[in-house]
Structure formats: C-alpha cells, structure tokens
C-alpha cells in the first residue's frame, strides 16, 4: 500500500539537517511531491516530543502513513507506529535509551549547530521509560536497517528487539549510516515509493 504521509524522526542531538533526513526529504519532495512529508525538530523532552508529533499526525491515515526513525528517533518511531498502526523504518534504533542516554544528563549541543545548546534533564529518563512500547508485537510491517559497525549502539540488541521486522544487516557502516544513499532504494521500496 503506497505511503501518502511520511514522518521522519531524528536522533538525540540531531536535527532535520542530518544526512539521512535531508536525503529522504529530497527524494520525497522531488519524486513524490504529493506525499505529505514532515521532519520536525524534536524538543529534548521525550514527552513533549511525542505530544507534538501526535498532535500533528492524529488526522493522518494510519493505513497510508509511515514513520522513519533514526537512533532515538527509532525508539520514538516504534511508539508512534504502535499508536497509529502504521509501517515503520528503523535506522540503528535505540533499544534502551533510558540507559544509554543517562550519561548525557546536563547541557548538550546540537550536532548540526554546535552553537545551539539544550539541557537534557534527569526526568527525561523516566519519560523515555514511559514511552516504551506496550507490546513487542509489531502492529504493521517494519524494516530495520542495523549496522554492525555502529559505534554507539549494539546491532544485536536491535535484532532481538525487532524480531518481526525485515532486517537489513550492514556488515560495516556506522551509527549515522553514512552510506545511507546506497540503502535508500530499499527504504523506498518498503514504503511503496518507487
């Protein structure tokens, strides 16, 4: 079923300016201008981020929408897909962000704009726990692109967390999936955007 509405969720300290987000945006806007595309700048609070996202996508048709999430955005995408019963593409998704992000409590800067700072609060860890998907059963098809070369997250945890997903295991690559352009055709095929 073709995707008519596409949501992209970036990772921790990232932004809509990430290489993957810009690559997806360019393809959708040039090849499928009729597709509703949204890649918001997410606030540091997980609760606020998901409230903002759900306020916007509440009227999107679950059967025709999809969400793509990278790293922490993959964790968020899992939650959105559960609520919207939609397809999800998970790019090196964070599986236990409440554990991996604990070390980042305090002032942080954005990768794409180092002059932009934000404060990652201790209470955000509990907000992440509260967003844990109620069920590990996928409500709709999932595609996981997991890099063995991810220097921040363990691809084996991703495989274990998403057993029902179609898996694309990258032998090398990195956390950012710097070679994303070579994998975008697989993502677009999964989204029926070919």
User: What pLDDT is attached to residue 114?
Assistant: 78
The per-residue pLDDT of the chain, averaged, comes to: 94
Query: Which SS3 state, helix, strand or coil, does residue 102 take?
Result: helix
What Å distances lie between residue 50 and 47, 64, 115, 131, CA to CA?
5, 20, 25, 9
User: For the whole model, what pTM was predicted?
Assistant: 0.95
User: What pLDDT is attached to residue 140?
Assistant: 93
Burial of 31 (0-12, 13-18, 19+ CB in 10 A): exposed
For 63-113, what is each residue's pLDDT tens digit? Answer: 999 999 999 999 999 999 999 999 999 999 999 999 999 999 999 988 777
Query: Which SS3 state, helix, strand or coil, does residue 108 take?
Result: strand
Q: Do residues 120 and 106 lie in contact, with contact meaning Cβ atoms separated by under 8 Å?
A: yes
Sign of the four-CA dihedral 150, 156, 158, 163? positive
């Amino acid at each position: 079923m073709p995707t008519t509405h596409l949501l992209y969720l970036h990772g921790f300290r990232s932004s809509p300016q990430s290489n993957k987000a810009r690559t997806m945006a360019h393809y959708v806007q040039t090849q499928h201008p009729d597709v509703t595309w949204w890649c918001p700048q997410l606030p540091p609070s997980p609760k606020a981020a998901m409230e903002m996202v759900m306020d916007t996508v509440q009227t999107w048709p679950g059967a025709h929408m999809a969400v793509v999430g990278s790293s922490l955005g993959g964790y968020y995408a899992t939650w959105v897909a559960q609520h919207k019963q939609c397809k999800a593409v998970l790019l090196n998704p964070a599986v236990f962000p409440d554990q991996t992000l604990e070390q980042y409590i305090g002032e942080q800067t954005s990768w794409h704009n180092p002059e932009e700072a934000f404060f990652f609060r201790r209470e955000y860890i509990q907000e992440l726990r509260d967003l844990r998907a109620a069920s590990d059963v996928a409500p709709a098809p999932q595609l996981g692109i997991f890099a063995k070369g991810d220097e921040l997250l363990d691809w084996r945890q991703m495989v274990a967390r998403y057993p029902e997903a179609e898996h694309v295991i990258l032998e090398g690559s990195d956390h950012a999936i710097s070679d994303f352009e070579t994998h975008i055709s697989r993502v677009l095929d999964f989204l029926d955007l070919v």
